[in-house]
Amino acid sequence: MAGRARDGVSSAWPEALALLLARLSLAGVFWRSGRAKIADGSLFTISDSTYYLFAEEYGGVPLPSDLAAILATTAEHVLPVLLVLGLATRLSALGLLGMTMVIQIFVYPQAWWPVHSLWAALALVLIVRGGGRLSVDHLLAARLSPA
Q: Report yes or no on 7 lying in a domain.
A: no
Q: Would 90 be classed as within a structural domain? A: yes
pLDDT, tens digit, 9 for 90 and up, residues 85-126: 999 999 999 999 999 999 999 999 999 999 999 999 999 999
- 40 secondary structure, DSSP code: T
Name the pTM for this structure: 0.92
Q: How confident is the model at residue 11 (pLDDT cuts 50, 70, 90)?
A: confident
For 36-50, write each residue's pLDDT tens digit.
999 999 999 999 999
Sign of the CA dihedral running 86, 88, 90, 95: negative
CA 133 – CA 137 distance, rounded (Å):
8
List, in sequence order, every residue forming a beta bridge with 38; answer none if it has no partner.
46
Check if the beta carbon of residue 93 is closer than 8 Å to that of residue 44: no
Kindly report, residue by residue over 60-72, the tens digit of the pLDDT: 999 999 999 999 9
Residue 112 lies in a domain: yes
Classify residue 9: in a domain, yes or no: no
- CA–CA dist 34, 27 (Å, integer): 10
